[in-house]
Structure 1
Amino acid sequence: MNEAAILMNRIAGDLARAGDRILRAELGISYSRVLVLLALDLDGPASQQDLARWLGSTAPAVTGLLGELSAAGYVQVSADPDNRRRNRVDLTGEGQRIIRAARALLDRSFDELLRKADVDGAVLVTALSRIAATIQKAGD
């Protein structure tokens, strides 16, 4: 396996663990739950299947997360008006509030990490975007 691929995988895991620590301490919510809210915040209402794809997860795992997020008042799960066999997931007002707070915390933390590492965020985003687009194109 390529050294860069190994490093990116390790960094992704380290970022997820750091994000989880920050979010649990400050907001009482896990990183995996925030990712569900982030998907809805970025892309709008979605089906459970779409969320599973977005998260790189399984529908049963997402079902469990949605149950917890719904009980906390962050999402509303209802029958999809266009396809009654599917559920539609929407952010609630409380879900919008918590995702804004989570994004602000994580953004500050990541900006500080880039500053300490002396890395230009714009250059990093450009490179990662090109890699992501190439991977996406290869998967199509």
Structure 2
Amino acid sequence: MSSLAHDLHVLVRALDRSAETRLAPFGISYARYLAMVLVADHDGLTQRDLATALGQSEPTASRTVSTLVDAGWLAAERTPGAGNRRVLTLTDPGRELLRRASAALGSAFDEVVRSVGHDPAALATDIRRMTAIIEDPP
């Protein structure tokens, strides 16, 4: 028997697969796209912070960062006096890629949401509220 939790899980898996397909023309995977979103949204994000936010091990995050740096989409600057700490920032080409890729992903899902009679902005607000409740229960 299906439940809301199961249906949402199925939806998230479908969204992930759709994102991979939609991002392929940009030459980036969904996991790397998510890393770029986090870097763009959090000034001073370190590689360790990125690993935590993505739920990845530090070696996996390190490989993600290296790939994005090699592609020219990310800069990883060592912080003086902070050991091996690297602060991550998007490069200009990285910001442009993120802008174009986000537009492609956002507009596609917004259309789906509208097609079933919902407002994308209102749904996004509700999703953020639900996520906050689940992550920090009263």
Q: TM-score of the superposition, structure 1-length normalised?
A: 0.88
**Cα distance, 1:80–1:7 mapped onto 2, change above 3 Å:** farther
Counterparts in 2 of 1:110 and 1:82: CA distance versus 1, 3 Å: farther
Match of 1:83 in 2: 82
Q: For structure 2, which runs of at least 5 residues remain unmatched after alignment?
A: none
Runs of 4+ in 1 over 3 A off after TM superposition: none
CA RMSD of aligned residues (A): 1.9
- 1:74 matched to 2:63? The reply is no
Alignment of 1:1-140 (within 5 A): 3-24=3-24, 26-81=25-80, 83-138=82-137
Question: Matches of 1:127 and 1:49 in 2, distance apart?
Answer: 30
For residues 82 and 113 of structure 1, do their structure 2 counterparts lie closer, same or farther at Cα, with a shift above 3 Å needed? Answer: farther
Structure number with higher strand proportion: 1
Write 1 or 2 for the structure with the bigger share of helix.
1
Q: CA deviation at 1:44?
A: 2.5
Query: What is the CA–CA distance in structure 2 between the aligned matches of 1:29 and 1:45, rounded to whole Å?
Result: 23
Q: With structure 2 as the length reference, what TM-score do the two structures score?
A: 0.89
Q: Distance in 1 between matches of 2:80 and 2:9?
A: 39
Identity %: 29
